[in-house]
Structure 1
Amino acid sequence: MNAAGRIREATAGDVPKAYALIRELAEYERALDQVNIGEDTLLQDGFGPNPAYGLLVVEPADRDEVVGVALHYEKYSTWNGRCLFLEDLVVTEDERGRGYGKLLFQAVAAEAVRRGCAYMQWQVLDWNTPAIEFYKSLDSEVSSEWLNGRLEGEALRALAQGS
């Protein structure tokens, strides 16, 4: 289904709704306990003097209400150059299936092209079949070839101190 919606760059005033949607996604992904930042950090990191991410929002054409967000940031590949990484794409549950996710995904793709990125990248949980099918329906590749590494918390600090 094609949605009649508006995509726009988020403003600082959109952060509370964006944060609520991020938590909604985390709950769906069975990882709500892993959301370790609050609205204040999201606001500072995205709308401070050196923004760490970009945030797009989608609103239905018939009302001024944010129903979905796409949070992205640039990274670099030594093999391919610039990449736009899509950290989160979420549409609130009662608005799913109306095409808002596709509008957001297209807008992130357009941002990647505008920035001269060679590709865009994202992660999807291997059990999230609806999301996998969504991405595949847009001619994207979903691969299980690469594993993710992570170092955090005390282990990160210990390594940084040479321990």
Structure 2
Amino acid sequence: MSVVVRKAIESDCQGILDLITELAVYEKMEDQVKMKVETLREDGFGNEKYFQCFVAENQENGSSKLIGYVLYYYIYSTWEGKCIYMEDLYVSPEYRGRGIGSKLMGSVCKTAVEKKCARVHFAVLGWNKPSIDYYKRQDAIDLTEEEDWHLFRLTGSAIEKMAAKCDL
């Protein structure tokens, strides 16, 4: 097996969406995926880039297949400055245990070093013990355990309700 980790290109969008769907199935949340290939193209490769992505590609016998990805974007800490939020890190099950996830995550961390980012943030579902254990082995800090931070989200009508309070 010959696996290459590289920066994603626009023509990878269908393969990335396929992997996003695989991840959602793994997380038992496949009904929540609303993403379309066109949205990935526009948001990742259009005039304004809302995310960056690395892919793992298995190149065998003259063909290639995406087998993993890591999708991230920049955020900002008022305490420390530039940071990265790693939205997804995923490797197809049949390719796990071969260091591919570490190479993908390493690509994001290398970007963080190059861009002088202070932190790399990410979230993990509480039931996903294999991933939690993996991240802890990489010296990641579980902010829920260490600092009692809780992750919140606004969606749909809650966003609209808050937006209506703005006078801009």
TM (norm. structure 2) is 0.89
Counterpart secondary structure, 1:102: helix
Greater relative contact order (CA < 8 Å, ≥ 6 in sequence):
1
What CA deviation, in whole Å up to 9, does each residue of 1:3-56 have, x standing for no partner? 963211101111101011111111111111222221111111001011100010
Cα gap change, 1:28/1:79 in structure 2, threshold over 3 Å: closer, same or farther? same
Number of residue pairs matched?
161
Cα gap change, 1:4/1:138 in structure 2, threshold over 3 Å: closer, same or farther? farther
Q: Indicate conservation of the 8 Å contact 2:71/2:88, yes or no.
A: yes
Between 18-27 and 58-67, the greater mean CA deviation after superposition: 58-67
2:124 match: 124
Measure the CA separation in 1 of the matches of 2:9 and 2:98.
Answer: 24
| Alignment gaps of 5+ in structure 2 | none
Cα gap change, 1:95/1:52 in structure 2, threshold over 3 Å: closer, same or farther? same
Counterpart secondary structure, 1:44: helix
Measure the CA separation in 2 of the matches of 1:46 and 1:88.
Answer: 14
| Alignment gaps of 5+ in structure 1 | none
What CA deviation, in whole Å up to 9, does each residue of 1:61-91 have, x standing for no partner? 6463211000000000001111111000001
Measure the CA separation in 1 of the matches of 2:22 and 2:10.
Answer: 19
Counterpart secondary structure, 1:88: strand
Counterpart secondary structure, 1:24: helix
Measure the CA separation in 2 of the matches of 1:4 and 1:99.
Answer: 12
1:137 match: 137
Measure the CA separation in 1 of the matches of 2:119 and 2:38.
Answer: 31
Measure the CA separation in 2 of the matches of 1:76 and 1:162.
Answer: 24
Name the aligned partner's letter for residue 34 of structure 1.
Answer: Q
Between 69-78 and 31-40, the greater mean CA deviation after superposition: 31-40
TM (norm. structure 1) is 0.92
Q: Indicate conservation of the 8 Å contact 2:59/2:65, yes or no.
A: no
Measure the CA separation in 2 of the matches of 1:4 and 1:161.
Answer: 53
Flag as ranges the 4+ runs of structure 1 deviating above 4 A.
Answer: none
1:157 match: 160
Identity %: 37
Q: Decide which of 42, 45, 51 is 1:44's aligned counterpart.
A: 42
Between 117-126 and 31-40, the greater mean CA deviation after superposition: 31-40
**Aligned counterparts, 1:86-125, within 5 A:** 86-125=86-125
